[in-house]
Structure 1
Amino acid sequence: MTGTMTWVGLDVHARSTHAAAIDTMTGELRRAKFGPGLEAPIAWMLQQPGPARACYEAGSTGFGLYRAATTAGIAMQVIAPGKTPRGSSDRVKSDRKDAELLVRLLLAGSLTRVVVPPPEIEAAREMTRAHDACRRDLMDARHRVSKMLLRHGRVYPKPTTWTTEHRRWLSRQQFGEPASALVFADLIAAVDGLTARKQAVALQLAQLATDERWWPTVARLRAFRGIDTLSALSIHLELGGDWRRFERAAALGAWLGLTPTLNQSGESSRQGSITKTGSTLARRLLVESAWHYGREPRLGATLANRQARQPDHILAISNRAQQRLYKVHRTMKARGKPHNIVVVACARQLAGFLWAAATAD
């Protein structure tokens, strides 16, 4: 029938998928439930009257349904779950109701879609996230060692740990009980194993960064203070490899969750903590990099090597970032702002400078 179109909302889980469809000509609402797999919901959507426009919320099931539907000719969207409007008084939640809510909001144009990365971006991003997971596991393993020693009243006398000297000190620790000695040896072995894993993944990422698909942007990001190859690659991939989808630097800062929350009503307006939306990994890396800008601007040998063969306008942006962020750091500290707030403010502006460098001609 001419002019017929079907709108479909899907609530997708690992072992089930609930679907709700609205026919624009008749207004009829149809529902269906499917088991695991993609074939059944794709076939059902293809059987609906007219072309189908469908959506589902981003989650742990990934983008497999999106790619399968797109290949089958279905206009599919992946929706940001945190921005799906929901009634504050709605206390009944079910998969069936969620699917119906999605299709009605899709028809009304009230949903926010997320950018689906190409498969190669997603694969490389999985490796950077694996490196970050290994880093967190290593930190936990090291904490277990230090806490066990603390329970036995042993504290390393110097401030810097996990150096060569610290490892020699650890090797001299003896325990009277054989069980404690076995546990300590196991904890040290866990630290060594995770350290080797982290180094192996970091080496693979360093090789991956030189790929011609990523290196032009990664090389530009490395020209900034506090950002080396792994950080540059991770931030680039967390943004989907496409910086130009953000029209302004402020839009990138908002996407990263580095902007303050705002509660405004009538004449009152109050700002709170940052929103913490978007990529947690990218936000953490930017905050860590922003710590470097509390020192006076300078060009050391390491940064000079990273900036070699970069265009002059990229170096100018990097230099402006150092000057600007150092000024922001000093100004906010002079006003008595807590150090963490100062660093987050610098991270937000650093994201803007990185955007300018990545999108420059």
Structure 2
Amino acid sequence: MSNATTFVGLDVHARSVKACAFVPETGETIRKSFGYEPGEIASWVSSLPQPARCVYESGVTGFHLCRELNAMGVACVIGAVSKMHKPAADRGRKTDRRDAQFLAVQLALGVVTEVHVPDAECEGARDLARALADARDDAVRAKQRLSKFLLRHGLVYDERNAAGQRRNRWTGDFWAWVGRIDLGDAAAMATLDHYCERVREADAAKAALEAKVKSLAQQPRWKPTCDALKCLKGIDAVTA
């Protein structure tokens, strides 16, 4: 159970924050609206009966506000939104003010499930890994668009090697085959060039990010964990 005197719920948005402070001893609630200004929020919380503790929901606004408030000496946690169960009567009357008050009361009751707040370095590593996952998805989509475009024109890469096995796509032989295609129409050829360029760009972006992830995996903070994970079958440095 927290030993705080004041519990502050923050309903955080990209440009605004609605705050509600709840003091269980008196039942008093104090409300305040802010822009996204951690310094102003910290100053206001510091003016409340102490000790004070803040909470906001996990979500797209991330960890920045939490880290900033804690750095300024204001205790703040992030609550797992999936673990917060609002009364049915409140679900149809959702407002920022109500959400902030709900969070403050939940924190006072000690029923907030806190999520881990990574430091900036850890979050940066995770963001890089997510960027690589996005780049891989982009590369797959770009190749699908090119393949479907060729299929609409009756073109399917079906070259075979001397053993009669079908050659893989996206190799030098495949691109040589694509280079010999003549669709007989300027607009169609411009479309083909566009899709080919998007595939090459996506592959280049993916390769660049993979190199950065591999380099990151060799840094002292991550290397022991990555080396241990690579002992498992099917896991390389990028996956780890």
Query: What TM-score, normalized by structure 2, do the two folds share?
Result: 0.91
State how far apart, in whole Å, the 2-side matches of 1:138 and 1:173 are: 22
Contact 1:4 1:24 in 2 (8 A): no
Residue number in structure 1 paired with 2:116? 115
* Higher share in helix: 1
1:19 has 2:19 as partner: yes
Output aligned runs, 1:22-171, within 5 Å: 22-89=22-89, 90-157=91-158, 158=166, 160-171=168-179
Q: Which of residues 185, 195, 216 is equivalent to 1:208? A: 216
Residue number in structure 2 paired with 1:6? 6
Deviations 1:85-113 (A, max 9, x none): 12234311111111111111111112111
Residue number in structure 1 paired with 2:226? 218
Deviations 1:142-162 (A, max 9, x none): 111011111112122247422
Contact 2:4 2:53 in 1 (8 A): no
Q: How many residues align?
A: 230
Cα offset, 1:169, TM superposition: 2.0
1:191 has 2:199 as partner: yes
Contact 1:4 1:23 in 2 (8 A): no
Give the SS at the match of 2:221: coil
State how far apart, in whole Å, the 1-side matches of 2:121 and 2:223 are: 14
Give the SS at the match of 2:141: helix
* 1:167 maps to amino acid: W
Contact 2:24 2:108 in 1 (8 A): no
Q: 1:4 to 1:172 in 2, by over 3 A?
A: closer
Contact 2:9 2:20 in 1 (8 A): yes
* 1:106 maps to amino acid: L
1:181 has 2:189 as partner: yes
Residue number in structure 2 paired with 1:231? 239
State how far apart, in whole Å, the 1-side matches of 2:10 and 2:4 are: 20
Output aligned runs, 1:246-261, within 5 Å: none
Contact 2:4 2:52 in 1 (8 A): no
State how far apart, in whole Å, the 2-side matches of 1:9 and 1:225 are: 45
State how far apart, in whole Å, the 1-side matches of 2:9 and 2:186 are: 60
Larger relative CO (CA 8 A, sep 6+): 1 or 2?
A: 2
State how far apart, in whole Å, the 2-side matches of 1:219 and 1:196 are: 26
Contact 1:4 1:25 in 2 (8 A): no
Cα offset, 1:198, TM superposition: 1.1
Deviations 1:251-272 (A, max 9, x none): xxxxxxxxxxxxxxxxxxxxxx
State how far apart, in whole Å, the 2-side matches of 1:27 and 1:88 are: 23
* 1:91 maps to amino acid: G
Give the SS at the match of 1:149: helix
Deviations 1:283-319 (A, max 9, x none): xxxxxxxxxxxxxxxxxxxxxxxxxxxxxxxxxxxxx
Cα offset, 1:25, TM superposition: 2.3
Give the SS at the match of 2:239: helix
Cα offset, 1:183, TM superposition: 1.1
Query: What TM-score, normalized by structure 1, do the two folds share?
Result: 0.61
Deviations 1:199-252 (A, max 9, x none): 1111111111111111111111101111000001xxxxxxxxxxxxxxxxxxxx
State how far apart, in whole Å, the 2-side matches of 1:4 and 1:74 are: 12
Cα offset, 1:166, TM superposition: 2.1
Cα offset, 1:190, TM superposition: 1.0
* 1:201 maps to amino acid: L
State how far apart, in whole Å, the 2-side matches of 1:173 and 1:74 are: 65
User: Mind listing any 5+ residue stretches in structure 1 that lack a counterpart?
Assistant: 233-361
